[in-house]
Amino acid sequence: MFRSLRLPISLPAALAVAGAAMTPAVPATASTASTAGAAGGTACVTRTSLGVVSGTATDGLCAFRGIPYAQPPVGRLRFRPPRPVSPWRGTLKAVDGTRVCPQGRDQMSEDYPDDRKVYTDEDCLHLNVWTPKPDRSKRPVIVFIHGGAAAYGTGNEPRYDGTNLATRGDAVVVSLNYRLGLLGWAELGGLDPAYRGSGNNGLRDQIAALGWVRDHVADFGGDPANVTVVGESAGAFSISAMLATDHPERLFRRAVLQSGSGALVHTAAFERKLASTLPGRDLAALRTMPVAELLRVQEKAVAAFPGAAGHALYFGPYVDGTLVRDTVTKRVKAGNARGIDLLIGTDRDEMNFFGQYSKDGLGTLAEQYDAFFPKELAARRARMTEVYRRDRTKQAAALAMFTDQGMRVPALRLAEAQSRWRPTYVYQFDWAPPKGVGAVHTIELPFMFGTLRFVGVQGGPEALRTDRARLTTLSAQMVDAWASFARTGDPDARRTVPRPAWPAYRMPRRATMIWDLSPRVADDPRGHERALWDGVPFDGAYL
């Protein structure tokens, strides 16, 4: 997810490919493997090339929480690329679902696993696995990368619990943590060439976790040749950046991008601008600074950047020319991701999320849009506004344009590019709580996970209390679609809950699944508004 708004333009600098494979042993709890009954009567224990791992039986499947996928990035490894973990002795008890990478608590939009106000433990590069059974069944694998503006959130949020996806889809589900804020996304190569590329370390963490999945998921009942990576907001930006790396098909076979596309992957010029706002610019101090103090430095750095979007996109992946080779749509259009099936979509009222909890927040947000409208389109603006005003108030029109510029149209542009090469599916999520402010950013998450936890969605909990049956059905339809796509590349291949068929996205039809209490397919929804943005490259330069 973004955060309070202050949209940048892009982010990069330089980068160097990570170094050597380490040795500090991973902290593991040696003990006798648990023999408690799990799914199918099998113990939740498996043997990997790193060592034995035990989990817990829950809801008819096995959950393994807190498995390290990289060495703790502490001490000399702070600001360095992730290093592989070392084997452990005895049995690693994977029962810790509380690790959160360093951040101050965001009470508005994150669903934390406990009530801590500040998280300061850098030893957070862990992942979770839910599986019907740790056997050799070669189930499809779904790997989720959380959002949070690359500064907040965790794979341990209860709303990201993989139980429903694993059960309904007969799939192995993985969620993961990655370094956030300055620790994961600060480009320090300008201070010391040895740290060139540190601004993509959060992305490297995610790639390292996908490497762990490739090497070890078979031990948990998954098929390493059938991995689907799913990301929301900053997680989707990150996956988009991976589509511009060399041979992304080696990391995953399919991708689901929710509320995020390559337009929000930063450029090199903007990365250098962000690096210049770092207070003090003293690398030695940053390397040894206590985490709580580093978080305060981080807040100062974000506050120093002018604009109206606050933490929204200050941190994130960038085009460094080494790992992320070029802008995403350009690379995808050229066939760089030709081996990957794509499912991509947005929420109808994405930007309303940022104005839902303050007095006249939507009005303030609409006024802020002036600062983000592309100057290159100034001559078109009056005409564009006229089109958006046909069935909206002035405020609603500005917010709709903000959503289309920031999210919907760039996602469609990426879908167009990839549909030339592989099956591509597009959705728009339209359901909104009766007492909320629309189908806002993040609103699809409780449905696609099947948890129905409406954190950060005004009116969501009340809507669930009064309309649980219909919301549960909508969730089941989405869980089935996501799981079917992960299994086969086709969201319709295993429809167990009735809904309309979902055609692939192709020109000129542009078939789009509209998720609502009565899902439907629309051809090129609001196409007259989409077409107004033709000619805008959406390569990171318009936000």
Active site amino acids: 233, 350, 441
Complete DSSP assignment for 325-370: -S-HHHHHHTTTTTT-EEEEEEETTGGGGGGSSSTTHHHHHHHHGG
Residue 346 CB coordination number (10 Å): 28
The single residue listed with the structure tokens 């510029």 is 405
Rounded Cα distance between 458 and 443, Å, is 10
Rounded Cα distance between 141 and 223, Å, is 6
Cis peptide before 508 (omega within 30 of 0): yes
H or E element, residue 428: strand 424-429
536: Cα within 13 Å, side-chain hemisphere? 26
Rounded Cα distance between 62 and 172, Å, is 10
In the beta sheet, which residues pair with residue 104? 118
Q: Helix or strand or coil: residue 152?
A: coil
User: Would you call 224 exposed, middle or buried from its count of C-beta atoms within 10 A (0-12, 13-18, 19+)?
Assistant: middle
Rounded Cα distance between 401 and 143, Å, is 32
By the 8 A CB rule, do 494 and 477 touch? no
Beta-sheet pairing, 254-258 with 222-232: parallel
| Rg (the chain; Cα; Å) | 22
User: Would you call 249 exposed, middle or buried from its count of C-beta atoms within 10 A (0-12, 13-18, 19+)?
Assistant: middle
By the 8 A CB rule, do 471 and 452 touch? yes
In the beta sheet, which residues pair with residue 40? none
Give all strands (DSSP E) within 233-386, no chain letters. Answer: 254-258, 341-347
Complete DSSP assignment for 101-122: -SEE--TTT---SS--SEE--S
Rounded Cα distance between 212 and 424, Å, is 27
Report CA 196 to chain centroid distance, whole Å: 24
* Strand arrangement of the beta sheet that strand 91-93 belongs to: 45-47, 52-54, 91-93
User: Residue 262: CB partners within 8 Å, gap ≥ 6?
Assistant: 237, 240, 241, 243, 244, 327, 328, 329, 332, 410, 414, 538, 539, 540
User: Would you call 469 exposed, middle or buried from its count of C-beta atoms within 10 A (0-12, 13-18, 19+)?
Assistant: exposed
By the 8 A CB rule, do 319 and 268 touch? yes
